[in-house]
Amino acid sequence: MWNDLKGLAEARDGRRIETLFAEDPARAETFSVTAEGMLFDYSKTQIDAEVMDSLLTVARRAEVERRRDMMFAGAKINETEGRAVLHTALRNLEARPVEVDGQDVMPGVLDTLARMEELAREIRGSDITDVVNIGIGGSDLGPKMGTLALAPWHDGPRCHFVSNVDGADIADVLKSCPAQTTLFVIASKTFTTIETMTNARTARSWLEGQGVSPEGRFVALSSNLAKAGEWGIPASRVFGFEDWVGGRYSMWGPIGLSMMIAVGPENFRAFLEGGEAMDSHFRRAPLEENMPALLAVVGIWHNQGMGHGTRAVLPYENRLSRLPAYLQQLEMESNGKSVAMDGTDLPYNSGPVVWGEPGTNGQHAFYQLIHQGTRVVPCEFLVGARGQEPHLRAHHELLLANCFAQSEALMRGRSLDEARAKVADKFEGDELDRQARHRVFPGNRPSTTLIYPALDPRTLGLIVALYEHRVFVEGVILNINSYDQWGVELGKELATALGPMVEGRESAAAKDGSTRQLLAYAQQHMT
Ligand SMILES: O=P(O)(O)OC[C@H]1O[C@](O)(CO)[C@@H](O)[C@@H]1O
């Protein structure tokens, strides 16, 4: 089937996307889908009816619909860890029963949500001025991305996010926090992550150093209740979640607490409602009209069909500036694997390298490569029809114009003749030709655009859940377990072993030459 996709891609080599529009006046509507008020337009790609038919056949053969239903029903589809995958239960506000091992998980989920809301209200009504979320990966990226995205709704205490074990991170944050009125939220599914536990200890010592008792100053978000308890955090301040919530899928539950404190429980619920609405669309819409499934097959087409190994996520929404980083974990930790579910080597590329920055900033940085580089980078634009700052309408009009212009420029490009005409008044002869060639844009570069009315709590929920399900569908098609992350383990083990060598307590003689040299250099310059 992969060869079929590659064959289809080869057969379309050199065909201009613009021609597809000229040939089919309804192309934009045909190759677009709407869901929950959002429009996903994938018409500025090489996808045509035959390609879409093949992509959907690939999805159906992979049994995307059956696997989806298994996920929602609590089946243990994370086979290498023997776990269900039920982040969707965290936003199942209608409390449809969801069973794991014969037990409905919903009473527990809703009880924890109610406790979180109670604490959030208490803190928002207290003298706490600053909340510091200490966590990393999925215990940082989601709430950090979401809190920034919802800045207009942020009426609670200031929120800070500390993730890096580099002491510079926590040091910079603590500089602006008054010890008397700061609350620390330790967010760690395992409660063993070295970066988080190191930062948490530093926070505790800092409080003590400032003469403030740590009692009542810490909250824990974890699925390891025992470890959180050992840390001395009372049970009333520990918010648990089950192992069926993957770290990178966890911002909907306790890991979202900092965001809830920032924007308030009502807005957090609106975020959950957005996720729930996208779940409902994903579960019910036929694949042809299913936004996450279509986003996924467009990704499969570009990566496995056309052979473009990266994709750029380009939000024309400044407050989504952390979305690319969030999606890097969501997509790359989920689908960056080289073995299939049965342990055999994948005979095709796994998920793409995901990267990006908000427009228009990216335009003045790396878009040069996107437009004229030798590699093709499929681009995924996101933009709200309305900006979050309605009184600055002129800004938003410019933003929209820039966003639409980029996808048009990527598709159309600029021919040599057009480039010549641009500089004909300045150069002539061979020099005109040479100068013009630098100004040629090959065009025919694929992009998609997700446009929504405006970024608000509910829309954020829709967008995050859309991408989660996209990752799921791509993973099913690739026959990958999207829910484990063994690839992060080796580095952690080696770092633990290297610790005593960095400190000079253990010999590094058995290490390779490069590692020994780096250690020696560091030790020489450390003091
Ligand atoms: O929430 P924890 O257990 O501290 O883990 C943080 C992150 O570390 C990882 O396990 C990767 O090392 C991520 O999957 C996870 O989001």
Contacts of 448 (CB under 8 A, 6+ apart): 40, 41, 42, 44, 45, 295, 298, 378, 379, 380, 381
CA proximity to 314, closest of 371, 274, 269, 361: 361
Let me know whether 17 and 110 are in one domain.
no
Residue 40's φ and ψ, nearest 5 degrees, are: -110, 115
Q: Which residue has the tokens 């024309």?
A: 316
Distance CA 342, CA 350 (A): 15
426 and 454, same domain (yes or no): no
Query: Could you tell me if the CB of 522 is within 6 A of ligand 1?
Result: no
Clarify whether residues 153 and 244 are in a common domain.
yes
- Tell me: do 322 and 455 sit in the same domain: yes
Q: Please report the ipTM that was assigned to this predicted complex.
A: 0.98
Residue 252 located in a structural domain: yes
What pLDDT, on the 0 to 100 scale, is given for residue 1?
72
Q: Does 98 share its domain with 226?
A: yes
Ligand 1: nearest atom to the Cα of 138: 16
Residues 6+ apart with CB under 8 A from 126: none
Among 333, 357, 468, 474, which one carries the catalytic annotation? 333
Known catalytic membership, residue 395: no
Q: Where are the alpha helices (DSSP H) in 190-290?
A: 194-209, 225-230, 257-263, 265-284
In this prediction, residue 2 has a pLDDT band, given cuts at 50, 70 and 90, of: confident
Q: Over pLDDT 90: what percentage of the chain?
A: 99
- What is the per-residue pLDDT across 285-317, written as a single tens digit (0 to 9) for each? 999 999 999 999 999 999 999 999 999 999 999
CA distance 515 to 65: 48
Q: What is the 3-state composition of the chain as percent helix, strand, coil, each rounded to the nearest 5?
A: 55, 10, 35
Instruction: Note down the domain range covering 505.
Output: 487-525
Average pLDDT over all residues of the chain: 97
- State which ligand 1 atom lies nearest to the alpha carbon of 250: 16
What confidence tier does 110 reach under pLDDT thresholds 50, 70, 90? very high
**Separation CA 220–CA 189 (nearest Å):** 10
Annotated catalytic residue, options 364, 391, 438, 525: 364
Q: Which structure tokens are listed for 5?
A: 């996709």
Claim to verify: residue 303 and residue 215 sit in the same structural domain = no
Q: Over range 13-18, report the average pLDDT.
A: 95
Q: Using only the alpha carbons of the chain, give its radius of gyration.
A: 25
Query: Given pLDDT bands bounded at 50, 70 and 90, which one contains residue 3?
Result: confident
Domain count, the chain: 4
Per-residue model confidence as pLDDT tens digits over 21-43: 999 999 999 999 999 999 999 99
pLDDT at residue 487 in the model: 95
Mean pLDDT calculated for residue range 460-469? 98
| pLDDT of amino acid 216 | 94
102-140 as b/e, with b when 16 or more CB fall inside 10 Å? eeebbeebeebbebbbebbeebbeeebebbbbbbbbbbb
pLDDT at residue 210 greater than cutoff 80: yes
Section 126-145 average pLDDT: 98
- 333 an active-site residue? yes
Q: What was the pLDDT predicted at 19? A: 97
Q: pTM for the whole thing?
A: 0.97
